[in-house]
Amino acid sequence: MLQTSNAVPKPRIAADGKDGGQLEPLLRLAGTLRESHALVVAEHGLELLCGLLRRGCLAATAIRLGDKPDANNYDVVIMPSLASIAMATVVRLARRSLAPGGRLIVGMNDARTASALARRLRLNGFTKLRLTQIAGRVLLCADLWRVA
């Protein structure tokens, strides 16, 4: 059963890149998606899920922030919009859901918050931290350390 409501307008991420959407930069940061499992943590992540599947992602799952993901099951975790979420929550969710060698991608509004989150991620076993500014937004990409 499909239910819709006009009570609250939902933010949209444009698939065509128009109106400042982050879909294309997020997918570029995700890297090669062949044979990978992705997790999208967002209120409205359907368009991002479809984009991941179109790029060859083997499986994609969407959850809301309060939900509990499967442990060590995902190669890529994407949080397209990080607004007022505690950094400890982001780190805990990423550490729980990512398999070793997995990638975390987070979108934020300002560079100061992104730098603080990058420091916290580095202290929790993430490597290859990269910040990218696109259209007034900051995208943070980090890889979870892989045990050899």
How far from 120 is each of 43, 92, 113, CA to CA, in Å? Answer: 24, 11, 11
pLDDT in tens, 37-82: 999 998 888 888 888 888 888 899 999 888 888 888 899 999 988 7
Superfamily of domain 18-144: Vaccinia Virus protein VP39 (3.40.50.150)
The per-residue DSSP string of 22-44 comes to -HHHHHHHH---BT-EEEEESSS
Task: Please state the domain extents for the chain.
Answer: 18-144
Q: What pTM was estimated for this model as a whole?
A: 0.80
d(CA 22, CA 37): 20
Determine which helix (DSSP H) or strand (DSSP E) holds 106, and give its type and residue range: strand 98-108
